[in-house]
Amino acid sequence: MKTSTIERTETDYKVADISLADFGRKEISIAEKEMPGLMAIREKYAPQKPLADVRITGSLHMTIQTAVLIETLTDLGASVRWASCNIFSTQDHAAAAMAKRGIAVFAWKGESLEDYWRCTYRAISHPEDKGPQLVVDDGGDATLLIHKGYELEEGSDWAKTKSANKEEQVIKDLLLEIQRENPYRWHEIVKDWRGVSE
């Protein structure tokens, strides 16, 4: 029996090599010294947890510096899920360090287009079938996926039209697959959605 390729796995991350986590952690420690603004925010606000239980999806280059941002968000109480916004920009040791810490991260250098959009969808898909409340979206891909999925559920036929290029077809195929599995998935995703930053 074929299982769905978009189901959650026992490990809620997908990275190139988890054994790179210790190297990533060393580099994150160095980067923290070069990012005093985020470190000051952690020191001042982490005890208060102003982002407690806020669901954040990130679609931003998965680099060492992004790892410092992710850890700042989690230290402030947020529940974070992350994908890279570019198939070539992930630093695999940074992604591994986030996964080892328990962050739901879906990113590796050299993703295929199919992998890239699936990773974006997994970053959007929070536990208990919920979506994000906030999205950090460099390039707008997570936002595009949410909008196009919602439009499909509202009757748009865009996903069934001829595609201008391979990437557009990959997006359409993913949206149609998700719709077959759950015809109201995107309405669930947007229920608590409050904003996007780029």
Each of the 198 residues of the chain gets a pLDDT tens digit; together they read 232 334 444 569 999 999 999 999 999 999 999 999 999 999 999 999 999 999 999 999 999 999 999 999 999 999 999 999 999 999 999 999 999 999 999 999 999 999 999 999 999 999 999 999 999 999 999 999 999 999 999 999 999 999 999 999 999 999 999 999 999 999 999 999 999 998
pLDDT at 9: 46
54: in domain: yes
pLDDT at 11: 64
Give the separation between CA 118 and CA 37, rounded to whole angstroms.
33
Q: Are 95 and 174 in contact (CB under 8 A)?
A: no
Give the separation between CA 165 and CA 169, rounded to whole angstroms.
7
CATH number at residue 63: 3.40.50.1480
* Element holding 104 (H helix, E strand): strand 104-106
151: in domain: no
What total number of domains does the chain contain? 1
174: in domain: no
Boundaries of domain holding 106: 18-139+192-197
pLDDT at 198: 87
150: in domain: no
